[in-house]
A and B are shown apart, each in its own frame.
Chain A
């Protein structure tokens, strides 16, 4: 079965510091897509960053970057220069590919609640 695990239910970081959120997944597929989503308090879920498994280079979006370790099936999110607006629930998600093809149906982890402290 394909699964996603986020082992940190809550984290806290000081403003301007760096924090890393962990995510591991399990699949027997070789090519797939991984996502980090952000859900601010009482606001809509939005995409933070995505990674395609066949790409060796780690994805980066401004202050957000991933450390994608395919062999270890690990997909952590690093937030640099944390800002108060980064306070949110963060979900790791994985496209449940089938026979090598994307299904567009995502499996989500249980989330990490990140609090950025002033």
Chain B
């Protein structure tokens, strides 16, 4: 089974702090994704990476950056956390093409609260 893990389930940070959210997948997937999930808004794509050191902005990249130094690890960085970044953050991974029953595989999520 594919396993996607995230470094923390719950995180509380102060406004202005630099925040790192880590995601690791064990299926050698090329694609990795960061989403934020908010009530009434569904999941929105923040950043996408299709290979090591390759990244692409999603729909809401402002205030975020990412890092992918190794294939299995994709980090989301909040350079200076703000209260409007309080949210649930989901990481996902997938193979490069939709074959068979391929899908995106999700981590358990990190609920971040910025005070």
Contacts and interface: CB of A to CB of B under 8 A. Distances in A.
Interface of A: 4, 6, 9, 33, 35, 37, 43-47, 50, 52, 91, 93, 95, 102, 104-106, 108-111
Contacts of A105: 33, 45, 48, 58
10 contacts: A6-B42, A35-B103, A37-B106, A43-B108, A45-B106, A50-B101, A50-B103, A105-B48, A109-B42, A110-B42
A104 B42 contact: no
Interface string B17-53: 0000000000000010101000011111100100000
A33 B107 CA distance: 21
B66 interface: no
A5 to B, nearest CB: 10
Interface in B53-93: 58, 90, 92
Contacts of B96: 104
A50 to B, nearest CB: 6
B22 to A, nearest CB: 16
Nearest to B6: A44
Contacts of A93: 43
Given A44-B106, A102-B97, 10 more contacts: A33-B98, A35-B103, A44-B107, A44-B109, A45-B106, A47-B103, A47-B104, A52-B98, A104-B104, A108-B35
Nearest to B109: A44
A31 to B, nearest CB: 11
Contacts of B92: 45
B110 interface: no
B42 A108 contact: yes
B94 A104 contact: yes
B98 A104 contact: yes
Contacts of B104: 47, 104, 106
A91 B35 CA distance: 14
Instruction: Identify which of B44, B101, B103, B107 gathers the most chain A CB atoms within 10 Å of its CB.
Output: B103
B48 to A, nearest CB: 6
Contacts of B106: 37, 44-46
9 nearest A-B residue pairs (beta carbon): A45-B106, A108-B43, A110-B42, A47-B103, A108-B42, A44-B108, A102-B98, A104-B31, A33-B98
